[in-house]
A and B are shown apart, each in its own frame.
Chain A
């Protein structure tokens, strides 16, 4: 397996790659990886940055088959079920035991989660 699943015989219903010819899809470079790593709060060494850039660029390159499709008239699917606004009756009920929950936290004080300084010099 190197080129993805076989194409088989095509039916007219399948849009052909590039038929829209609108979007020369962006490629992913080293500065993109550094940017998303910072957004995701991950620190990368220079070597890791090189490795991830090479690997992620290959995945994004593979995804160009999808990115190149002209599917503007197809609605997106976010979820396989047609469920909306699932609500329950607004009745009070017990939650998790506070001490048991706090016991799993790295640091607590007076029944609350404790974190290092939030306000101060910009991170």
Chain B
């Protein structure tokens, strides 16, 4: 297994290793192992080697090459990269070369990280298994008959398989945390507004947030710190300094009040629930004050989410009309061209969500569905606020089961949507949450436990995550 991101950066910064050698090794590993995994949609080999050479020049000339110097990073293919294909795993964007970089990409480059490629996802990030990709599914790194989760399944699988130490995903209803959990990696959704969404192809704008995937809590913290912070190019970006989290990783959880959320444990598979209870025990053993809590409003989260997110998606995806970029299917007039293009360009799940959202917003149904869902969103936020009067962080499962089999849930959209039931509440509230690997289920596959915190509570989030990571390591050895 490759060393972690911070170890790579330390060796490149000290001159002990050359970034070019690190990146060459990564590209070789991808060439050798990705055909069986299909985590990548595009490998940007030439650009990566060029970027690595620039890092090496900085080191030679005594300039600071950045905190992630020479670290290979993979990006979910809904994050814009100038001159490098960005497809969202959709036929409608096949071959598109963005004319600009997303802000997170600019920040990664400034930090010395090297973008090696773009990873597979459910089309437009709509899905929980990466099976809704126009380019075919990604396989789970430990069992090719299973899914890696989704929608950031390519990023989670690439990190889980050890092809890259770091990757970015996007999390609208759990799309970073759920695949991270299924692939045995760390995945984090920041507070809404802490990470710029400029250059992230929009799915549901009031929920979308870019987040890090890594093999350790420390690496995830380092990546979070690089991408977080105010960006004038994103009007939803918080105009405040981002929390610094790396320095608190060893602070422990002595006296931290932890709420074990019944709604995030009871409905999960028995082996998953056991791991979550073990995690609660580990935090208590490290000095945290752990108590049970119920947040009954969470039971409405799934329904509210599957009205709000499709409603926003139906509006955001109206831009794919065959005029300015992407696919065009010719027709004699413009309306027929729009329809022919969208019909050929979108896959079934994207069509489902667009129609569901159009329905929820349409005359006669707006108040009954979309309006109600927005009010339920308020109830969810109030429920979290009440819980955070008593607790510093909350604890639960990240996903109801371990990695499921390819095809198992593809014919039943509602069953697939249930995969997000534990992660959706944090998106509705805009709060941060992190998934940390905590042992295995009965099938030997990884189980992730989820820590949730109030807005801008990243410090206590990472403190608890670091303690869980150490405890999980002790269990394993």
- A binding-site residues for B, Cβ under 8 Å: 1-2, 4-11, 13-15, 23, 25-26, 28, 32-33, 35-37, 39-43, 52, 55-56, 58-60, 62-67, 69, 71, 74-81, 83, 86, 88, 96-97, 100-101, 103-107, 113, 115-118, 120-121, 123
Tally of A-B Cβ pairs under 8 angstroms: 230
Whether B325 contacts A105 by the Cβ 8 Å rule is: yes
Whether B323 contacts A77 by the Cβ 8 Å rule is: no
Please classify the interface of chain B as helix (H, G, I), strand (E, B), loop, or mixed, using the class held by over half of its residues: helix
Q: Residue on B with the closest CB to A119?
A: B333
The distance in angstroms between the C-alpha atoms of A15 and B378, with both chains bound, is: 13
6 examples of A-B residue contacts, CB within 8 angstroms: A28-B359, A37-B355, A63-B303, A76-B377, A80-B455, A81-B236
Q: Which residue of B296, B307, B413, B428 is within 8 Å of A8 (Cβ)?
A: B296
Q: Which residue of A55, A116, A118 is within 8 Å of B330 (Cβ)?
A: A116
Given that A55-B413, A71-B372 are known contacts, is A42 also in contact with B342, CB under 8 Å in the complex? yes
Whether B338 contacts A86 by the Cβ 8 Å rule is: no
Given that A40-B314, A66-B303 are known contacts, is A26 also in contact with B368, CB under 8 Å in the complex? yes
Whether A104 contacts B97 by the Cβ 8 Å rule is: yes
The distance in angstroms between the C-alpha atoms of A123 and B340, with both chains bound, is: 12
> Which B residues touch A55, using CB under 8 A?
352, 413-414
> Which A residues touch B377, using CB under 8 A?
76-77
> Which B residues touch A101, using CB under 8 A?
99, 324
Q: Which residue of A76, A86, A118, A120 is within 8 Å of B235 (Cβ)?
A: A86
Given that A67-B372, A71-B376 are known contacts, is A13 also in contact with B383, CB under 8 Å in the complex? yes
Please classify the interface of chain A as helix (H, G, I), strand (E, B), loop, or mixed, using the class held by over half of its residues: loop
Given that A6-B263, A81-B238 are known contacts, is A104 also in contact with B356, CB under 8 Å in the complex? no
> Which B residues touch A41, using CB under 8 A?
321, 335, 338-339, 342
Whether B421 contacts A4 by the Cβ 8 Å rule is: yes
Whether A9 contacts B296 by the Cβ 8 Å rule is: yes
> Which B residues touch A67, using CB under 8 A?
368-369, 372
Q: Residue on A with the closest CB to B364?
A: A26
Whether A26 contacts B365 by the Cβ 8 Å rule is: yes
Given that A13-B383, A106-B327 are known contacts, is A66 also in contact with B262, CB under 8 Å in the complex? no
- CB of B206 within 8 Å of the partner chain: yes
